[in-house]
Amino acid sequence: MARRKIYKKHDLATLADLTHGQKAKVVKLNTIDKALRRRLLDMGITEGVQIKIKRIAPLGDPYDIELRGYELCLRKKDLSLIDVEVIS
């Protein structure tokens, strides 16, 4: 097992790179699938929104993220399409 890279403040990454408890600001959605993109937007994942990785499922996927005062579960493969700037 390769050690996971730990991303620090001001680093650019995707949401899937972050680990439990980290916070980040959404920079860009790289989703190609229009339906998924719209779904993420509708759920409040818009540019500039703050997201916290609240929990990772016991098996490592999906992630439970916190944004706009509520919690949402997403699969890693979808999270890897969301570019973020790490806050903490």
Interacting residues with another protein (CB under 8 A): 29, 34-44, 46-49, 55, 57-62, 64, 68-75, 78
**In angstroms, what is the minimal distance from the CB of 85 to another protein?**
17
Residues 6+ apart with CB under 8 A from 72: 43, 64, 65, 66
Complex with another protein: residue 4 or 42, whichever CB lies closer: 42
**In angstroms, what is the minimal distance from the CB of 37 to another protein?**
7
Complex with another protein: residue 25 or 68, whichever CB lies closer: 68
In angstroms, the CA 67 to CA 17 distance is 17
| Paired residues of 24 in beta bridges | 51, 86
A 10 A CB-CB count for 66 gives 15
Complex with another protein: residue 11 or 31, whichever CB lies closer: 31
| Joined tokens for residue 67 | 């944004």
**In angstroms, what is the minimal distance from the CB of 28 to another protein?**
10
